[in-house]
C-alpha cells in the first residue's frame, strides 16, 4: 500500500498495516525532519524493520540531498540477512508499483573474513552491517570513516549497545599476550634490519612523513571527510610524531621498554587497581616513558607495518593490541580503569596474572557516531526504561517513544510466580540460591508446565553455574525423569557447536509433535540470538532475576563510575541491566501477533514495582494485579486457561480494524486519533 | 451334511470338545469335529475364519488346542488319548501351522479390517460394545459408514502407519526395588529392553556380542545396571566394564553429530556473530574457567549429566524418526540441488533462504488467499474451552453487588455490639473459622475448580461412554436427513427413535445407579 506519512509518500510492501507501524513511521519521520537522534522501542514481531526501511527509503527518494545514505547496524549475522531480505522485498515492491527498475544500491557487509572495502560502500544508498563496523575504532577506521555526514544511522536490537561500546574499547593483557608481543617485536626488528640493507630509502621516506606529522588526517577531519576515531584524538593530529619514536629502530626499542614494564607489572602478588593517570605516573617513574610518545603508539605502529609492507597483519595482533592499549591509556584520563589480578578468584593457587584495561564509559566509543551523523536512531523491542540510554551514551535525542503492541487478542500472558505450592518464597537471590526447597519448587513449576504446555518450552537461568547446579539437583531428586515423561530435555552447554546441535534437535522435537524443553542461560548466546516463534516456544520460564555477577572488580568500578559521572545509582543500573536481559529472554517467545506464549517470571522479586516498572511497556501492561504473586498451582490454572483460549483459530478478520488495518481504516479520523495514543512519549 | 469328497488330511481320535468325546478332522479347507458315534460335525470352521491357534503350555495336565476366530469366538479341543495326547496335538498344530497362513490371505479382508479398527481404536471399541453388543443398533448399521475407506482399494493409510516412538523417560521407568537383603531388583520388560536397544544401538551390539556366549542375559543386564554407563552422574573413572566402550562410542557419536553441524543456519550459534572481538579485547565480566585443571569433581560430574541429557534426548528423537529418515533425507537433498540451480544470483544455501523468508514473513499483513471457511460461533467459548464448572461459581455477582455487600458488612461491623448472652458455642465458632479459612467449605468459590477434578475418573469414563454413544446415535439420526428414500424414512420413524429411547433409558439407568451409590 502507499501511505501518506505527514506528507511523505511511503511505499509499504504489504496489503495491511499494524497501527503501531504507522505510529512508528511518524516518530521516525519527525526524527529525520529534525535532523536529530531518536530512541524508539517497539515490540519485536510488529514489523519494526520493514517500517524503518520503508520510511527511510521513501525519505531518501523524496529528499535526496537531505539524507544521502542509510547505515543499518544490527547485531547478529541472521539479523543482518533478514534486513537484506526485507529490503529486497521492498525494492521488488517499488519496481512493481512504479514500473521502473530502481537504481538503489544496497550493500551488506558480513564477516570480516571476506571483507571487501570496495569504494562502492561510498556510493551505496544503504549499507547493512554489524555494530562493530561503526563502533569498534579498529574496524570503523577501515570501513566506515569516509561515510557521508548526511547519513542516517540505525542501531537495531540496540538494547546492549553500551556493552558493545565498552567491549570495543577494552583490552586484556596476559602473560601470553606479552610473550607473543615479544615475538612480534623481534620479527619487526629483523624485518627492519633486512630492509635497511636492501631499501633504506623506504625507511627514510617514512621518517620524513612522520616529521610532517599526521597533518593529512587533520586536514581530512577539518574538512569533515572522516568519521573521527576515538583512538586518534584531535590533539595528536596537530603534532608531529615525537622524535623518540620516529625512527623505526627507536620505536622498536621503545616498545621493548614498554613491554618490559608491563611484564614487571604482571608480576604482582595482590590485586592492584589504578586510574590511567596513576599508571602513567608510575611508568614515567619506573622506566621514564613519557605520555606523549605513548599516545602516538597506535599510529606509529600502523605506519611501520605499512612501511614494512607486512601482508598478514593478523600475525601482529599482539603488538597491535599493546600499542592500542598504550594510546588509549595515555589519551583518556577518565572513563577507564586498570585492574591487575594475579590469579582468578576461584583458583587462588594458580598464578594467572591479567591486566584489565576496562572502559567504563560507553559514550567514548559512540561519541564520534553521534557527532558525525545527522540522525542516529536507537531501536529495539526492549529498551526500557528509555531514558537511561541517552544518559549512559551521553546524547540528546529529539524523539523518545515506546510503542505498545495493539492486540486483537491478548497473545502474551506474563505471570509472576512468587511462591511454591508449599508457600516457600521463590527467588534466585544469593541467600536462598542453594535452598533445597526453592530448587524443588522450581523443578515442580517446570514439571507442571511440561504437562500442560504444548510443543516447546524454553527455560532460562540466571547463570551457567546456577543452571548446572539446579540440573544436578533436579536429576538427583528425580524431577528430570518426570519431566522426561512429558517432553525431551535439551540443555545449553558452554560449547557453541554442541548447543547448536541441541537447539536443532529441540526444534525437531517441537516440529514432530513430541515436544521439548530447552534449558538455557540469560545473557547467553541463545537468549540473545535465537527466536522461538510459534510452537518453538509456547512458554518461557525465567528462573530468578538475571543479575550480572556483581563480585567482579570491573563491574564494581563501572558502577562507581556510573554513580559519580552520571548519577545513576548502583542498584538502579543493576536492576535495569537484569530486567533488560529478563525481557530479552521472555520476549524470545512472542514474534508476532499471530504468535502466542506464556511468560513466566519465577521469582517473587519481579512483583516489586522497581523491577516490574523496568519491563517494556508492551509486557508490563499485561501484568495485572492478579498475576503478581502466584503459587505454582495458580500459575498452572491461569496458563491452562490462557492456552486453551489461544488454541482457538485466529483469523485475519478477528484482527482487522483493531490490530490490523486496511488503508481506508487507517485513514479514518477515528483511527488516526487512536494511533496517537500508541506512541508513549517519555 | 458335508460332502465326503473333501480331502481329509488328518484324523485325530479321542478329542474332547465341551466334555464330549469325539474325533477331529483336518480337511483341505476347514477343521471339523464330530462327537463319537455320530455321523455329523457339530463343530466346523473354515481355515479362513480362524485368526490363530493357541496351545496349552507343556506340563499342564490337559493337553489342549484352542482356535480363535476372527469374530472373537473360540473353540477348545482337549486331546484325551492318554498315551499319545501330546503327539496328537503336535500333529494337529503342525498341520494347522502350515495350513492357516495359506488361508490368511484369503481371509475375509473386511472382517480383519473391522477387527483391526476395533483393536486400534479403544474409543471405537467401547462404542461398539455400547451400541452393538448391547444391541442398540445392528452391526451392519454400525459399520455402514465407517468402512468406506476399507472397500476403497487404497491401503496406503494403513500400511505406513506411524511407528510408536520411545518414551523419553523409559530409563526412569526402571525403578530399582530393594529385595530386602542388600540387593536391588530392576524390573525389565520386553518393551524397556526394546527401548534401550533402539535408543542405544551400542548396547544392542554389546548384547549380541556377549549373550549368550559370554554372559547370560541376566548377567548382562546386571552388569548394565552396575555400569557407569547407566548412571550418568558418575564419571567414568577408567574401570573396565563392557559398557565403557559404549560410553566411548556415545561420545564419538555425539562428537560426529556436533561436527556435522546444523542444517538450519538460523540456529547455528557459531556463526551468529559477525565478528567476535579479537583476542585480548573486550570485557570479561565472569571468568568461566574452561581449563579442566581447575574444575572440581562436582563441576565435571554436572557437565557430564548435561551432556548425557542432550545425548539421550537426541538418541530418543533419532530412534523415533529413524525410519522416516531415509526418505526425508533424500527429499531434502534433491530439493537442495534443485534450489541451487535456480538460485543463481546469490550463493545462499536454499535452506537458509527458506528459513530467512519464513523469518521475515508476516502472514497477517498479506491478503489471505485461502478458501473461506465458516467460523465456529460459540456463545460461551469459555465453557467450550474449559468444560463445565460447578454451579457455585456460575452464580454471577456483579462488582456492584460485591461493593454493596462489603459496605454492608463494614456498616454492620462498625455498629457491632456484642450481646454476650447470645454467642456461639466454641465448637460452632471453630467450625465457622475453619469454613472461612483457606481450603474451607466457604472459601472454595474463588478457586475455579474444574468439575473434572471433583468427579471420580470412573464416573467420568462412564459418562464419556454414554456421551459418545448418544453422539453416534445422533449422527445416525441426522444423517437420515433429507429423508428422500423409503429406507431412510423407515429407519427414522422405526428403529432410530427406538434406539434413542434405549440410549436415553440407558443413561437414566446409569444416573439412578449413580444416585443410589451416592446415598
Determine the pLDDT at residue A225: 57
Residue of A nearest to B448 (CA): A637
Q: How many CB atoms lie within 10 A of CB A578?
A: 21
The residue extents of the domains of chain A are: 1-157+373-403+659-679, 166-360, 410-648
Residues 6+ apart with CB under 8 A from B38: none
Residue of B nearest to A640 (CA): B386
Q: Which of A82-96, A425-439, A543-557, B274-288 has the lowest mean pLDDT?
A: B274-288
Chain A residues inside the 8 Å CB shell of B264:
504, 507
Q: Which of B258, B271, B364 sits opposite A660 (nearest CB)?
A: B364
Contact A682, A387 (CB under 8 A): yes
Say whether residue B444 is in contact with chain A using an 8 A CB cutoff. no
More confident residue, A122 or B22: B22
Determine the pLDDT at residue B56: 82
Say whether residue A480 is in contact with chain B using an 8 A CB cutoff. yes
Residue bearing cell 579498529: A138
List of E strands, B239-374: none
Chain B closest-CA separation from residue A192 CA (Å): 26
Chain A closest-CA separation from residue B237 CA (Å): 19
Residue bearing cell 554389546: B206
Distance CA A644, CA A456 (A): 16
For residue A490, is pLDDT > 70?
yes
- As a whole number, mean pLDDT of residues A630-635 equals 94
Look at residues A287, A313, A286 and name the one whose alpha carbon lies nearest to residue A298. Answer: A313
Q: Which of residues 321-340 of A touch B (CB under 8 A)?
A: 321
Determine the pLDDT at residue B390: 58
Say whether residue A463 is in contact with chain B using an 8 A CB cutoff. yes
CB distance B364–A655 less than 8 Å? yes
For residue A127, is pLDDT > 60?
yes
CB distance A512–B299 less than 8 Å? no
User: Among residues of chain A, what percentage have pLDDT more than 70?
Assistant: 94
Q: Which of A136, A490, A641 sits opposite B310 (nearest CB)?
A: A490
- Interface test with chain B among A78, A342, A364, by most B beta carbons within 10 Å: A78
Chain A residues inside the 8 Å CB shell of B267:
500, 503-504, 507, 530
Task: Name the grid cell of A666.
Answer: 487507517
Distance CA B276, CA A140 (A): 15
Determine the pLDDT at residue A421: 93
Chain B closest-CA separation from residue A267 CA (Å): 19
Same fold, A1-157+373-403+659-679 and A410-648: yes
Beta strand pairing call for A539-543 and A597-602: parallel
More confident residue, B152 or A22: A22
Chain A closest-CA separation from residue B357 CA (Å): 7
Distance CA A526, CA A520 (A): 7
CB distance A16–B366 less than 8 Å? yes
Q: Which of A136, A359, A554 sits opposite B285 (nearest CB)?
A: A554
Say whether residue A75 is in contact with chain B using an 8 A CB cutoff. yes
Positive or negative: CA dihedral A363, A365, A370, A375: negative
Say whether residue A466 is in contact with chain B using an 8 A CB cutoff. no
Determine the pLDDT at residue A355: 94
Domain A1-157+373-403+659-679 in this protein, CATH class: alpha beta
Task: Name the grid cell of A331.
Answer: 589519551
CATH code for residues A410-648: 3.40.50.300
Determine the pLDDT at residue B286: 44
CB distance B307–A488 less than 8 Å? no
More confident residue, A497 or B448: A497
Distance CA A559, CA B379 (A): 57
Beta strand pairing call for A126-130 and A171-174: unpaired
CB distance A530–B267 less than 8 Å? yes
Q: Which of B264, B289, B359 sits opposite A504 (nearest CB)?
A: B264
Chain A closest-CA separation from residue B325 CA (Å): 12
In DSSP notation, B2-18 reads --TTSPEEEEEEEEEET
Using alpha carbons, list the distances in angstroms from residue B53 to A585, B66, B77, B96, B99.
Answer: 61, 5, 11, 8, 11
Per-residue pLDDT of chain B (519 residues; tens, 9 = 90+): 444 467 888 888 888 888 888 888 888 888 888 888 877 888 888 887 787 888 887 777 888 888 888 777 888 888 888 888 888 888 888 888 888 777 766 556 667 777 878 887 888 888 888 777 776 677 777 777 675 544 444 444 445 566 777 888 887 777 777 766 777 777 778 888 888 888 888 888 888 888 888 888 888 888 887 776 666 555 555 556 677 777 788 788 888 888 888 888 888 888 877 665 677 888 764 444 444 444 566 777 888 888 888 988 988 888 877 654 444 443 343 333 333 333 334 455 678 888 888 888 888 888 877 666 677 777 777 667 666 655 554 556 677 888 888 899 999 888 888 777 777 788 888 888 888 877 677 665 544 555 666 777 888 888 888 888 888 888 877 777 777 777 777 777 766 777 778 778 878 888 887 777 766
A55-67 burial by CB neighbour count: b if 16+ within 10 A, else e?
Answer: bbbbbbbeeeeeb
- Interface test with chain A among B263, B268, B311, B318, by most A beta carbons within 10 Å: B268
Look at residues B439, B440, B423 and name the one whose alpha carbon lies nearest to residue B431. Answer: B440
Chain B residues inside the 8 Å CB shell of A499:
269
- As a whole number, mean pLDDT of residues A614-636 equals 92
For residue A214, is pLDDT > 70?
no
**Cα B239 from chain centre:** 40
Q: Which helix (H) or strand (E) holds B372?
A: none
* CA angle (B463, B467, B472) in 5-degree steps: 150
Positive or negative: CA dihedral A287, A290, A293, A295: positive
Beta strand pairing call for A126-130 and B20-27: unpaired
Distance CA B415, CA B424 (A): 19
Say whether residue A187 is in contact with chain B using an 8 A CB cutoff. no
Distance CA B272, CA A79 (A): 9
Residue bearing cell 513449576: A445
Q: Which of residues 227-256 of B touch A (CB under 8 A)?
A: 232-233, 254
Say whether residue B309 is in contact with chain A using an 8 A CB cutoff. yes
B330 by Cβ neighbours in 10 Å (0-12 / 13-18 / 19+) ranks as exposed
For residue A41, is pLDDT > 70?
yes
A643-663 tens-digit pLDDT:
988 988 888 888 888 899 999
Say whether residue B258 is in contact with chain A using an 8 A CB cutoff. yes
Determine the pLDDT at residue B329: 42
Q: How far apart are the first and last CA of chain B?
A: 59
Task: Name the grid cell of A437.
Answer: 526447597
CB distance B274–A111 less than 8 Å? yes
3-state secondary structure of A347: coil
Q: Which of B275, B302, B365 sits opposite A112 (nearest CB)?
A: B275
Q: Which of A472, A495, A660 sits opposite B305 (nearest CB)?
A: A472
Say whether residue B364 is in contact with chain A using an 8 A CB cutoff. yes
Chain A residues inside the 8 Å CB shell of B262:
500-501, 503-504
Residue bearing cell 527466536: A531
**Given pLDDT bands bounded at 50, 70 and 90, which one contains residue A500?**
very high
Q: Which of A478, A481, A652 sits opposite B364 (nearest CB)?
A: A652
For residue A272, is pLDDT > 60?
yes
Residue of A nearest to B378 (CA): A648
Q: Which of A488, A493, A499 sits opposite B168 (nearest CB)?
A: A488
Beta strand pairing call for B177-178 and A151-155: unpaired
Residue of A nearest to B357 (CA): A85
Residues 6+ apart with CB under 8 A from B387: B450, B451, B452
Chain A closest-CA separation from residue B382 CA (Å): 8
Determine the pLDDT at residue B336: 36
Report the length, in residues, of chain B. 519
A290-338 tens-digit pLDDT:
998 998 898 889 888 888 887 777 788 899 999 999 999 998 889 999 9
Say whether residue B289 is in contact with chain A using an 8 A CB cutoff. yes
For residue A473, is pLDDT > 90?
yes
Contact A621, A404 (CB under 8 A): yes
Say whether residue A421 is in contact with chain B using an 8 A CB cutoff. no
Q: What is the mean pLDDT of chain A?
A: 89
For residue A444, is pLDDT > 80?
yes
Distance CA A155, CA A150 (A): 16
**Given pLDDT bands bounded at 50, 70 and 90, which one contains residue A396?**
very high
- As a whole number, mean pLDDT of residues A587-594 equals 90
Look at residues B56, B79, B76, B58 and name the one whose alpha carbon lies nearest to residue B10. Answer: B79
Chain B residues inside the 8 Å CB shell of A168:
277, 281-282
Amino acid at each position: 500500500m502507499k501511505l501518506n506519512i505527514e506528507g511523505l509518500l511511503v511505499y509499504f510492501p504489504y496489503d495491511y498495516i499494524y497501527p503501531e507501524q504507522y505510529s512508528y513511521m511518524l516518530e521516525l519521520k519527525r526524527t529525520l525532519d529534525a535532523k536529530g537522534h531518536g530512541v524508539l522501542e517497539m515490540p519485536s514481531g510488529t514489523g519494526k524493520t520493514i517500517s524503518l526501511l520503508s520510511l527511510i527509503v521513501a525519505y531518501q527518494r523524496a529528499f535526496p540531498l537531505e539524507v544521502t545514505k542509510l547505515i543499518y547496524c544490527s547485531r547478529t549475522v541472521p539479523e543482518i540477512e533478514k534486513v537484506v531480505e526485507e529490503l529486497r522485498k521492498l525494492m521488488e515492491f517499488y519496481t512493481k508499483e512504479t514500473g521502473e527498475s530502481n537504481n538503489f544500491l544496497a550493500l551488506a557487509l558480513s564477516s570480516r573474513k571476506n571483507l571487501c572495502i570496495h569504494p562502492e560502500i561510498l556510493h551505496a544508498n544503504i549499507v547493512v552491517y554489524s555494530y562493530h563496523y561503526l563502533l569498534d575504532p579498529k574496524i570503523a577506521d577501515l570501513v566506515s570513516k569516509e561515510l557521508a555526514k548526511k547519513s542516517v544511522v540505525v542501531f537495531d536490537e540496540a538494547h546492549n549497545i553500551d556493552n558493545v561500546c565498552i567491549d570495543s574499547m577494552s583490552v586484556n593483557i596476559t602473560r601470553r599476550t606479552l610473550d607473543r608481543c615479544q615475538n612480534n617485536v623481534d620479527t619487526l626488528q629483523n624485518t627492519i634490519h633486512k630492509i635497511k640493507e636492501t631499501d633504506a630509502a623506504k625507511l627514510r621516506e617514512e621518517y620524513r612523513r612522520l616529521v610532517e606529522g599526521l597533518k593529512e588526517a587533520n586536514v581530512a577531519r577539518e574538512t569533515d571527510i572522516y568519521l573521527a576515531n576515538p583512538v586518534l584524538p584531535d590533539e595528536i593530529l596537530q603534532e608531529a610524531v615525537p622524535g623518540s619514536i620516529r625512527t623505526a629502530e627507536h620505536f622498536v626499542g621503545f616498545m621493548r621498554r614498554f613491554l618490559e614494564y608491563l611484564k614487571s607489572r604482571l608480576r604482582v602478588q595482590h590485586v592492584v587497581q589504578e586510574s590511567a593517570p596513576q599508571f602513567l605516573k608510575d611508568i614515567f617513574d619506573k622506566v621514564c616513558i613519557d605520555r606523549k610518545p605513548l599516545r602516538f603508539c597506535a599510529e606509529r605502529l600502523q605506519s611501520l607495518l605499512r612501511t614494512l609492507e607486512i601482508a598478514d597483519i593478523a600475525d601482529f595482533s599482539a603488538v597491535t593490541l599493546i600499542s592500542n592499549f598504550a594510546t588509549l591509556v595515555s589519551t583518556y584520563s577518565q572513563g577507564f580503569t586498570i585492574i591487575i589480578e594475579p590469579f582468578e578468584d576461584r583458583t587462588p593457587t594458580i598464578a594467572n596474572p591479567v591486566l584489565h584495561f576496562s572502559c567504563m564509559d560507553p559514550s567514548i566509543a559512540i561519541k564520534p557516531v553521534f557527532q558525525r551523523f545527522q540522525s542516529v536512531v536507537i531501536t529495539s523491542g526492549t529498551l526500557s526504561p528509555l531514558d537511561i540510554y541517552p544518559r549512559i551514551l551521553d546524547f540528546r535525542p529529539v524523539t523518545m517513544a515506546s510503542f505498545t503492541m495493539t492486540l486483537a487478542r491478548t497473545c502474551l500472558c506474563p505471570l509472576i510466580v512468587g511462591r511454591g505450592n508449599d508457600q516457600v518464597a521463590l527467588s534466585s537471590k544469593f541467600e536462598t540460591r542453594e535452598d533445597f526447597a526453592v530448587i524443588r519448587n522450581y523443578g515442580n513449576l517446570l514439571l507442571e508446565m511440561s504437562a500442560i504446555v504444548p510443543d516447546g518450552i524454553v527455560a532460562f537461568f540466571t547463570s551457567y553455574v546456577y543452571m548446572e547446579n539446579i540440573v544436578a539437583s533436579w536429576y538427583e531428586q528425580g524431577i528430570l525423569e518426570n519431566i522426561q515423561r512429558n517432553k525431551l530435555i535439551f540443555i545449553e552447554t558452554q560449547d557453541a557447536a554442541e548447543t547448536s546441535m541441541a537447539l536443532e534437535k529441540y526444534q525437531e522435537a517441537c516440529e514432530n509433535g513430541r515436544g521439548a524443553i530447552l534449558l538455557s542461560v540469560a545473557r547467553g548466546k541463545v537468549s540473545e540470538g535465537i527466536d522461538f516463534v510459534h510452537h518453538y516456544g509456547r512458554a518461557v520460564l525465567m528462573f530468578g532475576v538475571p543479575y550480572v555477577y556483581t563480585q567482579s572488580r570491573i563491574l564494581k568500578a563501572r558502577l562507581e563510575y556510573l554513580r559519580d559521572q552520571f548519577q545513576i545509582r548502583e542498584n538502579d543500573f543493576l536492576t535495569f541491566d537484569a530486567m533488560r536481559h529478563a525481557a530479552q529472554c521472555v520476549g524470545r517467545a512472542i514474534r508476532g501477533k499471530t504468535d502466542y506464549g506464556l511468560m513466566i517470571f519465577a521469582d517473587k522479586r519481579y512483583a516489586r514495582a522497581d523491577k516490574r516498572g523496568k519491563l517494556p511497556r508492551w509486557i508490563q501492561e499485561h501484568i495485572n494485579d492478579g498475576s503478581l504473586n502466584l503459587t505454582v498451582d495458580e500459575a498452572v490454572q491461569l496458563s491452562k486457561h490462557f492456552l486453551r483460549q489461544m488454541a482457538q483459530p485466529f483469523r485475519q478478520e478477528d484482527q482487522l480494524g483493531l490490530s490490523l488495518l486496511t488503508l481506508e481504516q487507517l485513514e479514518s479520523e477515528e483511527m488516526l486519533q487512536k494511533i496517537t495514543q500508541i506512541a508513549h512519549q517519555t | 451334511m458335508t460332502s465326503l469328497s473333501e480331502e481329509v488330511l488328518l484324523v485325530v481320535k479321542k478329542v474332547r470338545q465341551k466334555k464330549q468325546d469325539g474325533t477331529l478332522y483336518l480337511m483341505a479347507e476347514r477343521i471339523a469335529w464330530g462327537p463319537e458315534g455320530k455321523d455329523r460335525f457339530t463343530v466346523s470352521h473354515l481355515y479362513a475364519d480362524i485368526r490363530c491357534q493357541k496351545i496349552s503350555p507343556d506340563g499342564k495336565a490337559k493337553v489342549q488346542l484352542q482356535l480363535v476366530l476372527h469374530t472373537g469366538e473360540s473353540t477348545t479341543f482337549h486331546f484325551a488319548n492318554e498315551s499319545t495326547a501330546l503327539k496328537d496335538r503336535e500333529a494337529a498344530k503342525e498341520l494347522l501351522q502350515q495350513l492357516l497362513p495359506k488361508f490368511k490371505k484369503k481371509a475375509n479382508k473386511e472382517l480383519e479390517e473391522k477387527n483391526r479398527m476395533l483393536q486400534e481404536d479403544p474409543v471405537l471399541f467401547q462404542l461398539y460394545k455400547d451400541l452393538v453388543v448391547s444391541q442398540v443398533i445392528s452391526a451392519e448399521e454400525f459399520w455402514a459408514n465407517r468402512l468406506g475407506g476399507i472397500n476403497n482399494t487404497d491401503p496406503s493409510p494403513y500400511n505406513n502407519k506411524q511407528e510408536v516412538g520411545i518414551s523419553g523417560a523409559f530409563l526412569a521407568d526402571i525403578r530399582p526395588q530393594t529385595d530386602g537383603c542388600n540387593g536391588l531388583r530392576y524390573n525389565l520388560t520386553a518393551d524397556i529392553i526394546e527401548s534401550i536397544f533402539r535408543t542405544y544401538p551400542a548396547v544392542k551390539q554389546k548384547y549380541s556380542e556377549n549373550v549368550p556366549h559370554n554372559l547370560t542375559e541376566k548377567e548382562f543386564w546386571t552388569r548394565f545396571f552396575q555400569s557407569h554407563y547407566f548412571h550418568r552422574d558418575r564419571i567414568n573413572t577408567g574401570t573396565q566394564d563392557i559398557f565403557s566402550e559404549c560410553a566411548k562410542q556415545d561420545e564419538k557419536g555425539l562428537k560426529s553429530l556436533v561436527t556435522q553441524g546444523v542444517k538450519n543456519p538460523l540456529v547455528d550459534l557459531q556463526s551468529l556473530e559477525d565478528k567476535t572481538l579479537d583476542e585480548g579485547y573486550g570485557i570479561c565480566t565472569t571468568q568461566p574457567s574452561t581449563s579442566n585443571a581447575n574444575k572440581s569433581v562436582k563441576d565435571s560430574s554436572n557437565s557430564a549429566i548435561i551432556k548425557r541429557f542432550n545425548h539421550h534426548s537426541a538418541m530418543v528423537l533419532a530412534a523415533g524418526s529413524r525410519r522416516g529418515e531415509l526418505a526425508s533425507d533424500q527429499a531434502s537433498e534433491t530439493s537442495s540441488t534443485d534450489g541451487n540451480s535456480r538460485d543463481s544470483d546469490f550463493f545462499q544455501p536454499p535452506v537458509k533462504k527458506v528459513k530467512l523468508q519464513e523469518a521475515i514473513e508476516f502472514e497477517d499483513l498479506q491478503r489471505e488467499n485461502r478458501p473461506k471457511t465458516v467460523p465456529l460461533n460459540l456463545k460461551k467459548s469459555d465453557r467450550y474451552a474449559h468444560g463445565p464448572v460447578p454451579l457455585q461459581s456460575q452464580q454471577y455477582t456483579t462488582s456492584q453487588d460485591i461493593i454493596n455487600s462489603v459496605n454492608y458488612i463494614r456498616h454492620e461491623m462498625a455498629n457491632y455490639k456484642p450481646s454476650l448472652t447470645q454467642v456461639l458455642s466454641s465448637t460452632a465458632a471453630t467450625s465457622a473459622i475453619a469454613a472461612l479459612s483457606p481450603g474451607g467449605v466457604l472459601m472454595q468459590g474463588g478457586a475455579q475448580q474444574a468439575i473434572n477434578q471433583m468427579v471420580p475418573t470412573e464416573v467420568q469414563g462412564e459418562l464419556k461412554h454414554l456421551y459418545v454413544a448418544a453422539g453416534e446415535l445422533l449422527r445416525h439420526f441426522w444423517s437420515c436427513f433429507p429423508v428422500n428414500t423409503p429406507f431412510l424414512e423407515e429407519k427414522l420413524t422405526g428403529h432410530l427413535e427406538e434406539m434413542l429411547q434405549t440410549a436415553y433409558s440407558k443413561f437414566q439407568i446409569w444416573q439412578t445407579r449413580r444416585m443410589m451409590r451416592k446415598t
